[in-house]
Structure 1
Amino acid sequence: MSKSKQTLLIVGNGMAAGRLLDELIKRDISGFEITVIGDERQGSYNRIMLSPVLAGETDVPAIIGKPSAWYRDRGIRFVSGVQVKAIEREQKCVLTTEGNRLRYDHLVLATGSRPAKIPAKNQQLENIYSFRTLRDVDRLLNVARFHDKHGRKTDTDALVIGGGLLGLEAAYGLALKGLRVTLVHRSGWLLNRQLDKAAGTYLQRVLESKNIHFMLSDEVERFTGSHELKAAEFKSGRSVSCKLCVIATGITPNKELGLTAGLQGDRGVSVDAYMATSDTSISAIGECVEFKGATFGLVEPIWHQCTTLAERLCNNIKRPFENSPVPTKLKVSGVNLFSAGEFITTDEHRELLYCDDQAGIYRKILLRDNRIVGAVLFGDARDGQDYFSMLQEKRDVSDIAQYLLMGRAFYAASSDEPAAA
C-alpha cells in the first residue's frame, strides 16, 4: 500500500503562489494533495501587466497564466472567490469566510499585500480607487469607457497619487485613454527610491509630453464632494478638480492572518532562510513575509523564495534564501531605466556622469575606493547588468574607469575582457 499523500494547502493565489506551484511541479507533487485558496475568481495572473491592460496594449486573457482549467488538469484543487479568516493551528485547519474548514498537513501563506493607505480625509467618496487587481482595472476602464461613449473624454480629470512605478503606470494608462491626468507625489522627483533628481526630472519631461501633469512635494489633505468625488485639496493650499482618483502609494503586507494565529512577525510574517514560520507546519512566501527585518515587493527575490520552499517541501533539501541586492530594471512609457545600489551622490563618492539632453540619455556611476557602488541609467540601459555584476563582484575598476560611461565595447577594449558578442 502506498504512503498516504500530505495535504498541502496554499492560501493566496497571486504571483508568488503561481510561481511556487511551477517550482513544485518541476520537482514532484505526487506526494501531495494540493489545494489553493484565492479570493479572486480568476486564476493566477501577472499583476505587472495590469498597466498594459489599462492602457489597452493587451487584454485580460493574455495576462492570466493559470486559468481554472490549469489547476484541474494537474490535479490541483482550486477554491476561488473565497477568503480565509482564521488559522486554527491546533486542529491544523483554516476557517473560510463561508464557514468551511479545510485541513492541512502543511500550510503555505502567500497572502500578498494590499495598497498602502494615505491619511487624506473623505476617501469613502465614489470614484476613488486603488490599482492592484484586475477588478481595479475593470472599474477604471468602465469610467474611461463611459466618458468615451458620451464623447466627453476631454472634460474628465483624473488624479493619480504616487510617483512610484505603479502610480506612473496608472497615470500613463489613463492618459492613453484620453483622460486629463494630474499625478501628485510627496517627494521632489519621480521614482525617488530608484532614481536621483536628475534622472527623475528626465522621466518627468517624457511623461509631460504624454499629457500627464505633475504636482510634486505635495500631499492630498482631503477629497471633496457630496457623494461622488469632485476635487482634491492639498496641504499646500492648492485644489484640483477631479472625477476619478487612483491611489498608488505602495503596498502593505497582508500579515494579519498569520500574526492573529500567533505566528511571529512585525512588518510581515517572520520566516527563516528556508521560508519556515515559527510554526513548523506553516511556511510563508512573497509580499506577506518578513525576513531579517526586510519585506519584499520585487519579483526576483520572491522567485528565489519559491525555489527555496519547493526544494524543502519536495526534496527535503535546505537551500537557504539570501536577500541579495536586486537591480531595478524598468520600462516606463517606452523609456528604459536602470538603477542599482546607491543612487544619491555624496562627498564619499567619485561620480562619473554623462548627460545628453537632446537624446534624453543620462548615465551616472558612483565609485567608492575605485569600486562601483551604484549606477543610474536613463534612456539607454544596455550596460546596466554589466555595471551590476562589477558592483556585486566589488571589482577594482581603476584601469577602465575613464571608459565606463561609454559602455562595454569601450571598456572591454581597454582591458583583457572579451568584447560583447
Structure 2
Amino acid sequence: MENSQRHSQRQDTRLELVIVGNGMATGRLLDELLKRGCGQFRITVIGDEPEGSYNRIMLSPVLAGETERATIIHKSPAWFAAQGIRFIAGKRGTQIDKDKQIITLDDGQRLAFDQLVIATGSRPAAIPAKNQTLENIFSFRTLVDVDTITSAARNAANAVVIGGGLLGLEAAYGLALKGVAVTVVHRSGWPLNRQLDATAGAMLQSVMAAKGVAFALSAEVASFEGDHTGAVNKVVLNDGRELDCDLAIIATGITPNRELGQDSDIACGRGVQVDALMQTSAANISALGECCEFEGETFGLVEPIWHQCVTLADRLCGNRLTPFRNPQVATKLKVSGVQLYSAGEYITRPEHREIVLHDCRHQVYRKLLLHENTLVGVVLFGDTRDGNTYFEWLSAAQTLPVQVSTLTLGKSFLTESTPVQLPQAAAIP
C-alpha cells in the first residue's frame, strides 16, 4: 500500500516514524526530536524491555545497592503517554519489508512506516568457554540482569567476573559491596587496558584489591564446571587454574545487534552500515547507536552516539543536513570510587616524549604524551581536575612550550613564563 493511500484511509495524516529499540540512543533521539518540534510525525517506539528508557551506565550502582532502580529510568511508560508517543513494550522487530515499508514484530504485529530507525543496541560479546548453559552464569546488560544477579548473590560466597573492562569492574565492585568474594578474569595484563597504561592499571588493581576484588590477569576461561544441580561451581582457566564460584558474570565487551538489518537485506558489516547522515542502504531507514557502523567503526561510548542523534534529528525534522563526524572523545570514568581520565594515546611509544607525575602515597598519577612538542595523549588517575584543560590542548594540536616539565601540575600551576599558545577561547588566564 502506497503511503498516500495509507494516509487517506485515516484522519491522522502525520507521517509514521517507527523506532526499533528503546535504549539510551533512542531516549536521546526522542529528546532531540521533541526539541526541534516533530509534529509531522506520529512516533512509535518498540522496546523489548518493559521499564522504558533507562541509563545503563547506572546499572552498577543499582547492583551495589547505592542507587534505586527507579531513579535511573528516564522515560517511563507514563512519560511516553504524556508525550503522545506510542510505546510497544516487550516486543522485538523481526523483519522489515523495505518495499512495502512494513516492520513485523515477534508477535506477528505489522506496522507501516514512512521513516524507520534501527536502534537495537548491542549484546554482551560471546566467549568460547565450554558449558555456558549452566545455571548462575549471567550477562550484565539490563535491569533484568541486575535483578537475577542480585538474587543469586544472596546465597553466593564466591563469584567470577569475566572481563576487566569498565562493565566487568563495575559488576565486580557491586558484588564485593554485597560481601561476595570476587575474582576478575581478564585476558590483558592489567584492567581497563583500552583506557589506561600499565602503571595506572596496576594502581586500579591495587585499589580494587583493597576492596575485596582479586584478579586473574593474562588469562581466559576455558570452561565452566557445575555441581549435581546443574549450577556453576567452578571456572577453569586456560592455564589450568581453577576458581571456585557460585555465580559468574560475562562482561567481555559488546556485539552490535545487526540482525534486524541483516535479515532484511540492509547492508551490514559488524553493524548496520550508515552514511554520514545515519542513512542505511535502504530508503527511509536509518540506524544509530551501538548497532550501527560508520566508516568501519562501531560505537560504545555515549559522546559519538549523542552526535549521531543530532544528525538524525536534524535530517528527519527539518531536512537539515548535519553530517556526523566521529569526534575525538575523552573517557571519564569512576571505578571503585576512583576518578579516571584518558584521552588520545595512552601507551607510550618510541616516538613519544613522556612526562609523568606519580604520587604513590596519595594514589595520584598523571601521564602526558607529547610528539614533537604537541600533546597527543593523557592518562589521569585519582586527580582528574585538569582533564578538560588537557583535552583542549590535545584537540588544538598546537605546539606547546619548550619548558613542558610543569604541565603535569595542571592549569593552576602554569605561570606567564610558560604560556601555552592556544586559540583565544581556550587561552589560560
Q: TM-score, normalised by structure 1?
A: 0.96
Kept after mapping to 2: 8 A contact 1:409/1:419: no
Query: 1:174 matched to which residue of 2?
Result: 175
- The offset of 1:144, in angstroms, is 2.4
Range with bigger deviation, 120-129 or 374-383: 374-383
Matched residue of 2:414: which SS? Answer: helix
Q: Tell me, yes or no, if structure 1 residue 358 matches structure 2 residue 361.
A: yes
Q: Tell me, yes or no, if structure 1 residue 286 matches structure 2 residue 289.
A: yes
1:154-178 CA-partner distances (Å, limit 9, x unpaired): xx10000000000000000000011
CA distance in 2, matches of 1:63, 1:400: 46
- The offset of 1:19, in angstroms, is 0.4
Query: 1:184 matched to which residue of 2?
Result: 185
CA distance in 2, matches of 1:355, 1:74: 51
Q: Tell me, yes or no, if structure 1 residue 215 matches structure 2 residue 224.
A: no
Kept after mapping to 1: 8 A contact 2:303/2:329: yes
CA distance in 1, matches of 2:231, 2:78: 40
Q: Select the residue among 230, 234, 239 that pairs with 1:236.
A: 239
CA distance in 1, matches of 2:270, 2:106: 25
Q: Tell me, yes or no, if structure 1 residue 52 matches structure 2 residue 61.
A: yes
Kept after mapping to 1: 8 A contact 2:373/2:402: no
2:400 maps to a residue whose letter is V
Query: 1:414 matched to which residue of 2?
Result: 417
1:243-270 CA-partner distances (Å, limit 9, x unpaired): 1000000000000110111111211011
1:199-237 CA-partner distances (Å, limit 9, x unpaired): 000000000000101100011100001411010111111
Q: Aligned residues: percent identity?
A: 56
CA distance in 2, matches of 1:48, 1:75: 27
CA distance in 1, matches of 2:417, 2:264: 60
- The offset of 1:347, in angstroms, is 1.1
Q: Select the residue among 283, 300, 304 that pairs with 2:303.
A: 300
Q: Select the residue among 310, 316, 323 that pairs with 1:313.
A: 316
Query: 2:138 matched to which residue of 1?
Result: 129
- The offset of 1:419, in angstroms, is 8.9
1:166 maps to a residue whose letter is L
2:78 maps to a residue whose letter is A
CA distance in 2, matches of 1:413, 1:332: 36
**Counterparts of 1:17-96 in structure 2 under 5 Å?**
17-96=26-105
Range with bigger deviation, 398-407 or 188-197: 398-407
Kept after mapping to 1: 8 A contact 2:97/2:264: yes
Matched residue of 1:223: which SS? Answer: strand
Query: 2:258 matched to which residue of 1?
Result: 255
Query: 1:12 matched to which residue of 2?
Result: 21
Query: 1:378 matched to which residue of 2?
Result: 381
Matched residue of 1:409: which SS? Answer: helix
CA distance in 2, matches of 1:189, 1:415: 36
- The number of aligned residues is 413
1:271-318 CA-partner distances (Å, limit 9, x unpaired): 011101111210001000000000000001000000110000001100
Unaligned 5+ runs, structure 2: 1-7, 421-425
1:70-102 CA-partner distances (Å, limit 9, x unpaired): 011111000000111111111111111111101
Matched residue of 1:320: which SS? Answer: coil
Q: TM-score, normalised by structure 2?
A: 0.94
1:13-43 CA-partner distances (Å, limit 9, x unpaired): 0000000000000011210000000000111
CA distance in 2, matches of 1:265, 1:99: 25
Matched residue of 1:343: which SS? Answer: coil
Kept after mapping to 2: 8 A contact 1:157/1:180: yes
Kept after mapping to 2: 8 A contact 1:412/1:419: no
Range with bigger deviation, 261-270 or 161-170: 261-270
- The offset of 1:402, in angstroms, is 2.1
Query: 2:117 matched to which residue of 1?
Result: 108
CA distance in 2, matches of 1:412, 1:387: 16
1:23-69 CA-partner distances (Å, limit 9, x unpaired): 00001121000000000011100000000000111111100000001
Unaligned 5+ runs, structure 1: 148-152
CA distance in 2, matches of 1:296, 1:327: 14
CA distance in 1, matches of 2:416, 2:236: 57
2:85 maps to a residue whose letter is I
Matched residue of 1:174: which SS? Answer: helix
Q: Select the residue among 388, 393, 396 that pairs with 2:391.
A: 388
Kept after mapping to 1: 8 A contact 2:98/2:283: no
Matched residue of 1:48: which SS? Answer: helix
Matched residue of 2:216: which SS? Answer: strand
Matched residue of 2:168: which SS? Answer: helix
Kept after mapping to 2: 8 A contact 1:350/1:367: yes
Matched residue of 1:231: which SS? Answer: strand
Q: Tell me, yes or no, if structure 1 residue 334 matches structure 2 residue 337.
A: yes
Kept after mapping to 2: 8 A contact 1:413/1:419: no
Query: 1:150 matched to which residue of 2?
Result: none
CA distance in 2, matches of 1:201, 1:399: 31
CA distance in 2, matches of 1:23, 1:54: 30
Query: 2:423 matched to which residue of 1?
Result: none
Range with bigger deviation, 99-108 or 392-401: 392-401
Distance 1:82 1:395, change over 3 A: same
Matched residue of 1:158: which SS? Answer: strand
2:42 maps to a residue whose letter is E
- The offset of 1:143, in angstroms, is 1.5
CA distance in 2, matches of 1:224, 1:216: 20
CA distance in 1, matches of 2:153, 2:231: 16
Kept after mapping to 1: 8 A contact 2:256/2:270: yes
CA distance in 1, matches of 2:30, 2:415: 41
CA distance in 2, matches of 1:244, 1:354: 40
